[in-house]
A and B are shown apart, each in its own frame.
Chain A
Amino acid sequence: MLTAVGFGSVYIALKSQISTGSLGYAVFFFGLYLAAHLVARVAVPLADPYLLPMAALLTAIGLTEIYRLGPGDAFRQALWIVIGVAVFAATLLWLRRDYRVLERYKYVFGVTAIFLLFLPALPGIGETINGSRLWIHFGSLQFQPGELGKVALVVFLAAYLRERREVLAQGRLKDWGPLLAIWGGAMLVLFATNDLGSALLYYGIFLALLYVATNRLSFVAVALGLFLVGSFGLSYTTPHVQERVQNWLHPWSANRIYCPFNGHMEFRQDCQSYQEVQSLYSIAHGGFGGTGLGSGIVTNASGNQIVPDYNTDFIYSALAQELGLIGAAALLLLYMGFVLRGFRIALAASDGFSKLLAAGLSFGFAFQTFVIVGGITRVIPLTGITLPFVSYGGSSIVSNFLLVAGLLLISNRANRERAAA
């Protein structure tokens, strides 16, 4: 396929600008993508041909920037991509006949989603990073189960809403029971682990699917209102949330305020909102054309990285600096393209489960991008979450490859039915 070669060459061009020694990554990546493509050709021959190359390009951009920020992380990321592609291939081969069997196990998915979310809160394997308890570790291996929970939750919501959409639209309370229970549980766990980003993402997916299934804007309005009241209340009671809101509204303080990190009086921009503010500086430094990949400023004179979490949550600000407005806009257009293909699949699908599943996966993808990039660019308060396919992080990579696999399966089925008819 031409696109494959094209993306491969783009990747090589990007890489060679950093150092020729990294060409190995390009060759490896091209080989991996070719393998994924071949599996897709065999398992889902009629599936959408654009999704996988777009996902590969996003992964390549992310891997390139991660390599630029720290070659060690790039190696681990490459390993995760191998695992991600393996999971992708396995999913395609396993479910190539009919993925709709999943519908039968919807409660399994619902419970799994909650269990995955709940894992980090368990003592012993949970770990708190940046004030959020959203990691688990087995030995040296860290994992964010919330990312996988996202896919499980979409499957559950799609199955449950497909089955109950007519009765739900009537608004009888008892039909809402299981849905609200699972939902409430998820939200509770999320707030307990302080993982606001995922909470926001899940709630967004929930609202979108509720609207698609019931066609009742009033439900969405009520749910949105509840969310606003809830977060307003939380911003007063939970210090973690309050801090995020303050950092969003007033990242620069005119006076020194108490800094909980070192116990001194500091300007907020030197303490709580340091990360957000430096990330904005990083974006601003890029200007229109960017500094060029590899020549941006990421470390200070003592060799320390200026923006913490540059390669995970804040990878967008690194990319925006080095690629400039042109590159950042192109990246976002790529996300738009991916999401549009996803919704196209939802529209083409013939049954309700497939439609809801594709819509949930696509909207989740778009909304996750909005939550993190919007947080970085001060459109909304910042909540830590990964940029799909681009950020460093194994769980994120694996769950997003699952997401692509799901969309390809739905697309393949829809096109096969259309061809038959």
Chain B
Amino acid sequence: MNKQLLHVSMVSMVLLAILIGATTYWQSWASADLTNRQDNQIEAVAQLSVDRGKILGADGKTVFATNTVSHKHGLTIYTRRYPQNGLAAQTIGYSTSGGTRTGLEQSLDDYLTGANTNLSNVMSQQLDRLGGQTVHGDNVVLTLEAAAQRLALRDLAGRCGAVVALNPRTGAVYALASSPTYNQNLIEQPKGYGKIGKIKGSCGDASALVNNATAGLYPPGSTFKLVTASAALDSGAYTPSSTFYDPGYCTEYGQKVYNSSAPDSPGGHEAFGNVTFAQALEHSINAVFCNIGQHIGAAKILEYARRYGFYHLPPLDTPPTESLASGLYKNGKLWWPKDPATQVDAGRLAFGQFNMVTSPLQMALVAATIANHGAEPKPYLVQRIEAPDGSIVSSTTPQILGHPIKPQTASELNQMMQLVVQGGTGTAAQIPGVQVAGKTGTAELGLGSLYDGWFVCFAPASNPRVVVAVVVEKQPNGFGGSVAAPIAKDVLEKLLSG
């Protein structure tokens, strides 16, 4: 019987060895997958007992996100708190006890929970764990200037829209305001989610949870003329002093497309007669840009749009899912025409109509490129990440995304944009003692007298330090120069003085 006994004992050993193998599988290979599952109650509790890092403003003092501590059933529970009453809510995002995260709370989760394991801290983390010590996350210091952010939201005053402010040389984002906004503390309150759903801006169909600055797509109107002008000037075929004749309309497919209405003018529309290229931008003359567009072609304009970063998600520290790419859209999808010459109305595209939509961040990057002598900065929100003991875990080095336009073109556009503010459509953005360069935009929506008003600008023009892009949605007679330029001016002033 001994032979059989040996066999059975071997079978027993194999069975028990399988158990060791299976346990090893769950504790090493499969462990990460299991940890990330939404229904993992153990991990949910583990998250509660992590002292999540703070999210701070550029001054290192303004607290965008912190924790309150409570003790329950022998557990130390950290609950996320947002003290700034919805300031930058969409950018900061939220982190719930159920593990739902958005905004920077999602994209920086590894740092905030101290899970960014590397060779130097893996040992100390395991020892902390065995010692039952609380895991302390890293603190994040942002580039956001709370005062400018607050001012932007105050000026938007519940209207739908967004304000983006950034440094044209480094790409540091000073303000990323989206209106309407919401208080993140509501998320975990009973019925709080429903309350947020009821928040409506003046435009009626806004969602306060969406970050309009990065994921809001608006027809750019005349601000897109900056892209058309870039293509025209870069080609060498045009200079700011190139002359045009403006009869008050341009002819598209045999039909007249008129300039903006002007009841005082003969024919009811603006007509400027003989103008230079610079004057055409100053007064935002559609007919001139229509002709330029027809001349250089839709392919050229779209190529420059793509050089500026259209058709790609602008790089930012927020989750990619919370940004949208600018460009032509067809049936709700980003559309790159195979044959622009026949598929795209080059004249209308040139002054920012024809299915072109852009995010405020993208237009801010266009202005930043012009301000930065043709070099496009990479925008960023995270200035540095600090360990709980104050040591620097990482800090951001400014980067250049590329050179969409020649330095010569940039400086010519800079000059032309100064004219816009000095005596053109953007005079509302004038700041005493500071030379401001800007461009207005008023996008027709086909909704009667409701327009999206745009303003993109930078200052001081000779040595730009701040770029601001503003969009205010669906305003009655909301011309960019009257609804958006004053907000841009306020934010510019605040950031230049600070």
- A299 nearest in chain B by CB position: B73
Inter-chain CA distance A211–B1, complex, in Å, is: 9
- Kindly supply a per-residue 1/0 record for chain B positions 73-85, scoring 1 wherever the CB is within 8 Å of any chain A CB and 0 otherwise: 1110100000000
* Stretch in B15-23, B280-288, B369-377, B432-440 with 4+ CB within 8 Å of A: B15-23
Smallest Cβ distance from B47 to chain A, in angstroms?
10
Inter-chain CA distance A363–B4, complex, in Å, is: 12
Contacts of A294 in B (CB 8 A): 132
Does A135 count as interface, using CB distance less than 8 angstroms? no
- With A215-B4, A284-B34 known as contacts, the answer to whether A292 contacts B129 (CB < 8 A) is yes
Inter-chain contact B9/A362, CB cutoff 8 Å: yes
Inter-chain contact A301/B72, CB cutoff 8 Å: yes
Contacts of B41 in A (CB 8 A): 278, 281, 300, 306
Does B35 count as interface, using CB distance less than 8 angstroms? yes
Interface residues on B, range: 35 or more
- A270 nearest in chain B by CB position: B39
Tell me which residues from 281 to 301 in chain A have a Cβ below 8 Å from any Cβ of chain B. 281-292, 294-295, 297, 299-301
Contacts of A208 in B (CB 8 A): 8, 11
Inter-chain contact B26/A283, CB cutoff 8 Å: yes
- Kindly supply a per-residue 1/0 record for chain B positions 96-136, scoring 1 wherever the CB is within 8 Å of any chain A CB and 0 otherwise: 01000000000000000000000000000010011110000
Smallest Cβ distance from A277 to chain B, in angstroms?
7
- With A291-B129, A292-B129, A355-B1 known as contacts, the answer to whether A340 contacts B22 (CB < 8 A) is no
Does A197 count as interface, using CB distance less than 8 angstroms? no
Does A213 count as interface, using CB distance less than 8 angstroms? yes
Inter-chain contact B35/A377, CB cutoff 8 Å: no
A282, A290, A301, A367: the one within 8 Å of B15 (CB): A367
Inter-chain contact A379/B130, CB cutoff 8 Å: no
Does A132 count as interface, using CB distance less than 8 angstroms? no
Does A346 count as interface, using CB distance less than 8 angstroms? yes
Inter-chain CA distance A364–B252, complex, in Å, is: 90
Interface residues on A, range: 35 or more
Does A347 count as interface, using CB distance less than 8 angstroms? yes
Inter-chain contact A340/B13, CB cutoff 8 Å: yes
Tell me which residues from 231 to 256 in chain B have a Cβ below 8 Å from any Cβ of chain A. none
Inter-chain CA distance A392–B86, complex, in Å, is: 51
Inter-chain contact A366/B12, CB cutoff 8 Å: yes
Contacts of B77 in A (CB 8 A): 301
Tell me which residues from 40 to 74 in chain B have a Cβ below 8 Å from any Cβ of chain A. 40-46, 48-49, 72-74
Does A45 count as interface, using CB distance less than 8 angstroms? no
Inter-chain contact B15/A332, CB cutoff 8 Å: no
Does B37 count as interface, using CB distance less than 8 angstroms? yes
Total CB contacts across the A-B interface at under 8 A: 168
Contacts of B48 in A (CB 8 A): 301
Inter-chain contact A285/B12, CB cutoff 8 Å: no
B2, B20, B39, B72: the one within 8 Å of A277 (CB): B39
Contacts of A302 in B (CB 8 A): 73
Contacts of B20 in A (CB 8 A): 328-329, 332-333
Contacts of A57 in B (CB 8 A): none
Tell me which residues from 349 to 375 in chain A have a Cβ below 8 Å from any Cβ of chain B. 352, 355-356, 359, 362-363, 366-367, 369-370, 373-374
Contacts of A283 in B (CB 8 A): 23, 26-27
B7, B11, B132: the one within 8 Å of A295 (CB): B132
B12, B73, B129: the one within 8 Å of A362 (CB): B12
Inter-chain contact A282/B42, CB cutoff 8 Å: yes
Contacts of B2 in A (CB 8 A): 347
A288, A303, A374: the one within 8 Å of B27 (CB): A288
- Kindly supply a per-residue 1/0 record for chain B positions 445-471, scoring 1 wherever the CB is within 8 Å of any chain A CB and 0 otherwise: 000000000000000000000000000
Interface residue ranges, A against B (CB under 8 Å): 208, 211-213, 215, 252, 267, 269-270, 277-278, 280-292, 294-295, 297, 299-303, 306, 320-321, 324-325, 328-329, 332-333, 335-336, 339-340, 343, 346-347, 352, 355-356, 359, 362-363, 366-367, 369-370, 373-374, 377-379
Q: List 17 A-B contacts (CB under 8 A).
A: A211-B8, A212-B8, A278-B41, A283-B27, A285-B42, A287-B27, A289-B129, A291-B132, A292-B129, A328-B23, A329-B24, A332-B16, A332-B23, A343-B6, A343-B12, A374-B19, A379-B19
